[in-house]
A and B are shown apart, each in its own frame.
Chain A
Amino acid sequence: MKTGWLTEREKIQKITTAFFAFSPLVLATLIFLALLLKAHPLLSLKSLPGLIFSSVWQPSRGHFGLWPFILGTMWVTLTAFILAVPVSILTSLYLSEYAPGRWKKLFQPVLDLLAGLPSVIYGMWGVLIIVPIVGKYLAPLFGHQSSGFSILAASLVLAVMILPTIISVSVEVLNSVPLALKEAALSLGATRFEVITRVVLKKAVPGIIAACMLGLARAFGETIAVLMVVGNVPSIPHSLFSPAYPLPALLANNYGEMMSIAGYESALNLAALLLLLIVLSFGILARWYLPRIKRRLG
């Protein structure tokens, strides 16, 4: 719709709102530039692959290898993701296809509350319940020695944290599958489960992938809850029962008081920059990949 001309007042309205609309773009660029500027002193001294793939972290001697932290982030995030995804998808299928109406009504506020609980509370719960369980029961069961502060503890806490996000979005997606499609399949003699696997899921897969990506993004950036249960030891993790030190925890523990050691500040800003770049590549992947899946499924 083109109006051709705008009155003086409309022009002002348009320009003012446009100014605010550009703020997300400006903010994202500013964060990127600020972190890059602060990370630059270290980057000009050492090569980026050297910093990323070195596993020696000794700030007082000028060694800033970020590899243990990157590995820590990957282990914790991926394990949480693998634990959470099957449970979430099964639960959302149950809620949308099988559960009686009363159950659905009970579940929604529960999910909302779970999603709204602050991370420090999940962390506290992890310290009180999950860490002792992992240390006393799960680790000996698999023949490991562990204090309980471990990748597994962090992943379990994170998995519970991202469950409500994935479930709420998936249920919404599943509910949007047209009833007529399901009825058609049922009338042909399919069992309800066959309707789910052959009709409902085919329609809902892109949406469910998007829901899982949201959960992944949330797990990846979580700081406080992970920091409280992961052990914070800057070494390469060997198993699920060893402690780790993810990037956000590194920032949270050291960012405020890093000024005295040369290069330390740059290294931490580089860590923040890495987090930002990973988020950016997630975003690009989601933008590029999801429409393709959607198109392929018709």
Chain B
Amino acid sequence: MKNAQPKIDALHLKRRQRKESFFKLLMAASAFVVLGCLGLILVTILWKSLPALKLSMITRMPGSGYYLGKEGGILNAIVGSLQLILGATFLALFVALPAVVFLHSYLQKKSFLAETIRFSLDVLWGIPSIVYGAFGFLIMITFKMRASLLAGILTVAMVELPILSRAMDETIKLVPEELKEATYSLGANRWQTTTRVILRQVFPGLVTAVLMAMGRGLGDAASVLFTAGYTDKITTSLFQPVATLPLAIFFQLNSPFPEVQQRAFASAAILTLLILIISLISRSLSRRLSRHKIL
């Protein structure tokens, strides 16, 4: 305090307390606004989707005249989205896991190389998914491919790679240095230390990272817009186009028929439910898996 003689008269204290309660109210109001926004979004989706939310939405494919408001469902998009994110997440993990192992077992923490790799991950993280979509499209035309499940998987894997790598990197950074040193002192080399001790320690965190990347891939529409195409059938080969849930919502919402628009709302409810399931699985898994953590 700068005042040598702090004024502790009642008036002064009252003013400070008034300021306190004013800002406290402002903060509580902000928190309420945030909570209200989520409530509003969920209520809107649920309320709008109820008329079209039938079992046939998830058990049937679009029949003839589906986009004019006739019978059918979006099974093609649900299956397509799952095929796409499973493929993409597997591919992204296949690259991200060894990359993170290398960062942590063979590089010094602040070395130039480690910083460069982390910087490029940061940049990749920030690149809008529409740019990945454009890049995927350029790859496609270079290799004379059509919009297909394979092209979609490649593009979504590129979107997921930085999300996954950064999340795993952050998790591994939290492992205490002493644990590493203890392992080295027992004669383990770097590879053994990372794969047999550290990765097992952070396994719950890795699972959370994978599920988070999966959720992001599931909801991303911009990257599959030109690369995955769209189809009314279930995709059976890597070289066929594939339907995805976000695009199903997007296309149906642009329809002039109210019945089709309502199905867009129902599709949105289904997508929200899938995201919710993934986040619930992630929570319960990470709780169950961390029972055996040492530190």
Residues of A within 8 A of B (CB): 1, 3, 10, 13-14, 16-25, 27-28, 30-31, 34-35, 38, 86-88, 90-91, 93-95, 98-99, 103, 107, 109-110, 112-114, 116-125, 127-129, 160, 163-164, 167, 189, 191-194, 217, 220-224, 228, 248, 251-252, 255-256, 268-269, 272, 275-276, 279-280, 282-283, 286-287
Taken together as a complex, chains A and B put the C-alpha atoms of A223 and B159 apart, in Å, by: 14
Taken together as a complex, chains A and B put the C-alpha atoms of A110 and B272 apart, in Å, by: 13
Q: Which partner residue on chain B sits nearest A224 by CB separation? A: B221
CB <8 Å contact, B34 and A163:
yes
- Residues of chain B within 8 A of A3, CB atoms compared: 189-190
Residues of B within 8 A of A (CB): 8, 16-17, 19-20, 23-24, 26-31, 33-35, 37-38, 40-41, 44-45, 48, 95-99, 101-103, 105-106, 116-117, 119-135, 137-139, 158, 161-162, 165, 184, 189-191, 212, 215-216, 218-222, 225-226, 246, 249-250, 253, 264-265, 268, 271-272, 275-276, 278-279, 283
CB <8 Å contact, A118 and B220:
yes
- Residues of chain A within 8 A of B48, CB atoms compared: 128
- Known contacts A25-B120, A119-B222, A221-B126; can you find 11 more A-B pairs with CB under 8 A? A25-B116, A38-B138, A87-B34, A91-B27, A191-B19, A224-B246, A251-B130, A272-B131, A275-B130, A276-B127, A279-B127
A sample of 20 cross-chain residue pairs with beta-carbon separation below 8 angstroms, ordered by A number, consists of A18-B102, A21-B103, A23-B161, A35-B134, A90-B27, A91-B30, A95-B31, A118-B220, A119-B219, A125-B45, A160-B37, A163-B37, A224-B222, A228-B253, A251-B130, A252-B222, A256-B225, A279-B123, A283-B119, A286-B122
CB <8 Å contact, B41 and A94:
no
CB <8 Å contact, A283 and B128:
no
Q: Which partner residue on chain A sits nearest B8 by CB separation? A: A189
| Min distance, Cβ B208 to any Cβ of chain A, angstroms | 10
- Residues of chain B within 8 A of A20, CB atoms compared: 95-99, 102
Task: Using known A-B contacts A124-B45, A124-B268, A283-B122, determine if residue A16 contacts B98 with beta carbons closer than 8 Å.
Answer: yes
State which of A16, A90, A119 has its C-beta within 8 Å of the C-beta of B221.
A119
Taken together as a complex, chains A and B put the C-alpha atoms of A226 and B31 apart, in Å, by: 24
State which of B33, B38, B103, B216 has its C-beta within 8 Å of the C-beta of A113.
B38
Taken together as a complex, chains A and B put the C-alpha atoms of A85 and B283 apart, in Å, by: 28
CB <8 Å contact, B222 and A28:
no
- Residues of chain B within 8 A of A223, CB atoms compared: 128-130, 221-222
List the 6 closest A-B pairs by CB distance, nearest first: A118-B219, A221-B128, A94-B27, A17-B102, A90-B30, A21-B102
| Min distance, Cβ A207 to any Cβ of chain B, angstroms | 14
